[in-house]
Structure 1
Amino acid sequence: MGAQLREYKQKISSAQSTKKITKAMELIAASRIQKAMARVRASSPFSRAVTRAVSAVATHTDIDHPLTREPETVTRSAILLLSSDRGLAGSFNSQVIREALELAELLREEGKEVVFYLFGRKAVGYFQFRRMVAAEEWIGEADTPTFQTAVQISDALVAAYETDEAEGGVNEIHVVYNRFVSMITQTPESIRLLPLEVVDAESAGSSGQAELYPLYEFEPDATEVLDGLLPVYIQSRIFNALLQSAAAKQAATQAAMKSASDNADKLITDYTRLRNNARQAEITQQIAEIVGGADALAS
């Protein structure tokens, strides 16, 4: 009985130590998520403005630009997978990796070869463990991504897109990441980054969903304007996706650590009740032995 009491005391102490760690990590994630959300809010207007400008230029001109031209046949597709460098975030990494693999399977069913570009240690570790090859990898900045990293990623993707497929290039680029919806919800999302999808103004107007673009005058001409806008567009979209993924990761960590703290509280309550029952049983047994001994002496 004494050994059972010691076992329960050790389990209670272990659960209390675990709770201290998870509670501290929950508070750290809560403090970081505010900064991550502020960075997302700061970058989103610029990303939307650049996207709107590129769409306006491409819609109201007849430019045949390589980044907006739809290829006749798509044989190779690139997928940029954004994960985190650390775990302890619930299903954050597993759901985005599953989304990327499902997209890759869908593309393969369409007869396309898939090339992966990985961001984050979790995605890199997953591919290495399963001996899957990736074209390029970036690690170390998943919690606080910088614009320089977004530029590096966009340069690598654009270079692959502009390279002929016979020499290892790709025909289209997809981005898969966790989009921050709320503190509770982080949704895996996949977007086609290139070629840029341009909606024809007349067809959009017939559906009643056309956006009224301002009339632009291009100086020196629309081609050079589009050449300057498209790299900025790609960099801003990738940077915004990185920030969305970082904010979603902090929210997922906070939720996971709160759940772990609640589970530790439940374990402490359950083991405390079991310890009290064991101690009561031990006291009852001791009293029974004393009464039994006293009866034996009296008789």
Structure 2
Amino acid sequence: MPAQLRAYRARIRSAQTTKKITRAMELIAASRIAKAQQRVAASLPYARAVTRAVSAVATYSNVQHVLTTERENPTRAAIVVVTSDRGLAGAFNSNALKKSEELGELLRREGKEVVSYLVGRKAVGYYRFRRRDFIREWVGDTDTPSVETAREIAEAVVEKFVQPTDEGGVDEIHIVYNRFVSMLTQTPEMLRLLPLEVVEGVEEPEPGKALPLYEFEPDSGEVLDAMLPIYIESRIYQALLESAASKHAATQRAMKSASDNADKLIREYTRLANNARQQEITQQISEIVGGADALAGTRTT
């Protein structure tokens, strides 16, 4: 019985220590979420302005650009997989990796060879454990992604896209990341970066009015040459920021759940320890009473 009581008390101390760690991590994640959300909100006006500018050029000009032209019979596609450098975030990383696997399987069924670009140590570890090849990796700043990292990724994928397929180039570029919806919801998203699909920012004419006329100076081809790399960079940077905010929210939720579970364990082990202590006291009282009865019987005889 004393050994059982000591075991329960050791488990209580272990659960209390775990709770201190998870509680601290929960508070740290909560403090980082606000900053991550501010960075997402601050980047949106720029991303929208770039999108509107690219949309205007792509919609109101007839120029054929390499980044906007669909390839005939595409045979090779690349996927940029965005995860985090650290774990303890619930299903955050596994959701992104699962979405990338689904996308890769879809592309393979279409007869395309798939290559990967990895962001975050979790994606790198996932591929290395399964001995899968990938083109390039970026690790170290997924919690607070920088513009320089987004620019490096954009330059790498654009370089591969403009390169002929028989020389190692690709016909399509996709990105998979977790989009921040709310503190409770982060959904994995996949977006085709290249060939370019402008999905927002196109002006709608007002009733009874014609569409505006645009003149581009220099010509629209040079404008697209300058704008499209910036557009791709802003899209990737926005995805990195969304992923960072999603990771902090997922970490806070996971650590809160771990703290709650630690509380349940502490209550359960405290109850069991109290029961064990009560049984020990009862046994001691029984032994004392039994001993006293034995001594009283000896004296009467």
TM-score range, shorter chain: over 0.9
Q: Distance in 1 between matches of 2:160 and 2:211?
A: 31
Q: Deviations over 1:142-187 (max 9, x none)?
A: 1111001100000000000000000000001000000001111110
Identify if the C-alpha distance between structure 1 residues 205 and 159 changes in structure 2 by more than 3 Å, giving closer, same or farther: closer
Q: Deviations over 1:36-94 (max 9, x none)?
A: 10000011121122112211211111110000001111100000000000001001001
Q: Deviations over 1:268-295 (max 9, x none)?
A: 0000000000000001111111111111
Are residue 233 (structure 1) and residue 208 (structure 2) matched? no
Are residue 39 (structure 1) and residue 28 (structure 2) matched? no
Question: Which of 244, 253, 264 is 2:251 aligned to?
Answer: 253
Q: Distance in 1 between matches of 2:44 and 2:90?
A: 26
Q: Contact 1:117/1:137 (CA < 8 Å) preserved in 2?
A: yes
Q: Distance in 1 between matches of 2:226 and 2:163?
A: 19
TM alignment of 1:78-89, pairs within 5 A: 78-89=78-89
Aligned partner letter, 1:167: E
TM-score between both structures, scaled by the size of structure 2: 0.94
Q: Structure 1 regions of 5+ residues with no counterpart?
A: none
Aligned partner letter, 2:168: G
Aligned partner letter, 1:177: Y
Question: Which of 285, 290, 296 is 1:287 aligned to?
Answer: 285
Q: Distance in 2 between matches of 1:215 and 1:265?
A: 65
Counterpart of 1:151?
151
Give the alignment's Cα RMSD to 1 decimal.
Answer: 1.7
Q: Distance in 2 between matches of 1:141 and 1:220?
A: 37
Counterpart of 2:49?
49
TM alignment of 1:45-84, pairs within 5 A: 45-84=45-84
TM-score between both structures, scaled by the size of structure 1: 0.94
Are residue 102 (structure 1) and residue 99 (structure 2) matched? no
Q: CA deviation at 1:265?
A: 0.3
Q: Contact 2:160/2:170 (CA < 8 Å) preserved in 1?
A: yes
Q: Contact 1:68/1:198 (CA < 8 Å) preserved in 2?
A: no
Q: Contact 2:51/2:198 (CA < 8 Å) preserved in 1?
A: no
SS where residue 137 of structure 2 aligns?
strand
Counterpart of 2:123?
123
Counterpart of 1:222?
220
SS where residue 173 of structure 1 aligns?
strand
Identity of aligned residues (%): 67
Q: Distance in 1 between matches of 2:81 and 2:23?
A: 30
Q: Structure 2 regions of 5+ residues with no counterpart?
A: none
Which region of structure 1 is more displaced relative to structure 2, 55-64 or 8-17?
Answer: 55-64
